[in-house]
Amino acid sequence: MRWKTSISQNKDGGLQIRGQQLLTLIKDHSFTEAIFLLLKGKLPTKAEDAMVNALLVACVEHGVAAPSAFVPRVVASTGNDMNASLAAGVLTISKYHGGAIEACMNTLQQDAEPAEIVKSSLEKGERLSGFGHKVYTDADPRAQALFTKASELGLGVTYITKVQGIEAELASQKGKKLPINIDGAIAAILCELGFDARLGKAFFILGRLPGMMAHALEEMTNEKPYRRLDDEDIEYTG
C-alpha cells in the first residue's frame, strides 16, 4: 500500500515538516507555530501566531461543571489511565459542547448577508451556532477579549464584522439578544486566518486538552474511587 502525503518526509538525514527541519523547529519555533505550519503549510506571522495562541488559551478551561472536565474525572475515578480519561473527554465535544465552531464557520463562509442568514434560520426553525450562552446572557467576555486581541494584532475583519452583523440581526429579527459566544468568536477568527471549517472541533479539543489533563490528574491524585450519583440526585420517573 502506497501513502501520499505533503506533511512530512525524511530528507537530508532528518525529518522535514512542510519543508522545515524538525530540529530547526525545536530550536527556533513555538508549539503554536508548529501547529500553524502543519495545518496551513507555512509558518505564521507573529500576529497569526499570537492569535492562534490566544484562541487556544480561551478554550483551555471553563470549570469542573463542563462535560469535558467532569467526564474525564469520572473515567479517571474508576481506575483508568490518563489516555482513557482524555479519550472520554474528547468524545464529549459535539454539537452542544465545543462543537459549534465548525457549524458557525460554515455559516460565516456562506455568500449570504447577515439579514438573509438570520431570516432563513428563523423561517426554518433552525438555531444558529455560535450565539447565546446559559451564563453569559448579555455578552461573553471571552469572545470580547478575542475580538480585542484580533484588533490589536491588526487581523482582518471580514468575518468578525459578519458574525457581529448576525448578532445584531438576531436581536432585531428575533427580538431577543443572543450574544456571540466563545464558539462564534473562535469561528470568525479561524475564518479570518483561513482555516478549514472541518478543523473547528479539533481546535477546541486542542485547547481544552490541558484542562482535561489537569482535571483527570487531580482526580487520580486527590480523590477516592469512584464517582457515583447519590440517591437524592436521582429522580425515578417510572
Whether pTM > 0.85 for this model: the answer is yes
Total tally of structural domains belonging to the chain: 1
Mean pLDDT score, 199-212: 97
> Does the pLDDT value for residue 12 go beyond 90?
no
Q: With both helix axes pointing from N to C terminus, report the angle between 67-77 and 200-222 in degrees, rounded to the nearest 10.
A: 40
Which CATH number fits the domain that encloses residue 193? 1.10.230.10
Residues 173, 118: contact at Cβ < 8 Å? yes
Q: Is residue 37 part of a domain?
A: no
* 71 CB neighbour count, 10 Å cutoff: 20
Q: Is residue 185 part of a domain?
A: yes
Q: Is residue 35 part of a domain?
A: no
Per-residue model confidence (pLDDT) at position 13 = 83
| Residue 134: closest CA among 73, 63, 47 | 63
Q: Is residue 232 part of a domain?
A: no
Q: What is the pLDDT of residues 122-162, one digit of tens each?
A: 999 999 999 998 888 889 999 999 999 999 999 999 999 99
Burial call 184-216: b when 16+ CB within 10 Å, e when fewer = bbbbbbbbbbebebeebbbbbbbbbbebbeebb
Q: Is residue 34 part of a domain?
A: no
Per-residue model confidence (pLDDT) at position 134 = 82
| Residue 50: closest CA among 212, 202, 214, 189 | 189
> Does the pLDDT value for residue 182 go beyond 90?
yes
Q: CA 80, CA 84: separation in Å to the nearest integer?
A: 6
% of the chain residues with pLDDT over 70: 100
For residue 54, CA distances in Å to 81, 159, 230 come to 30, 17, 39
Q: Is residue 165 part of a domain?
A: yes
Going by C-beta distance under 8 Å and a sequence separation of 6 or more, which residues neighbour residue 228?
none
Q: CA 3, CA 153: separation in Å to the nearest integer?
A: 39
* 20 CB neighbour count, 10 Å cutoff: 18
Q: Is residue 81 part of a domain?
A: yes
Domain hosting 168: range is 46-226
Q: What is the pLDDT of residues 62-104, one digit of tens each?
A: 999 999 999 999 999 999 999 999 999 999 999 888 889 999 9
Per-residue model confidence (pLDDT) at position 51 = 98
Going by C-beta distance under 8 Å and a sequence separation of 6 or more, which residues neighbour residue 235?
none
Q: Is residue 32 part of a domain?
A: no
Cis before residue 96, ω within 30 degrees of 0?
no
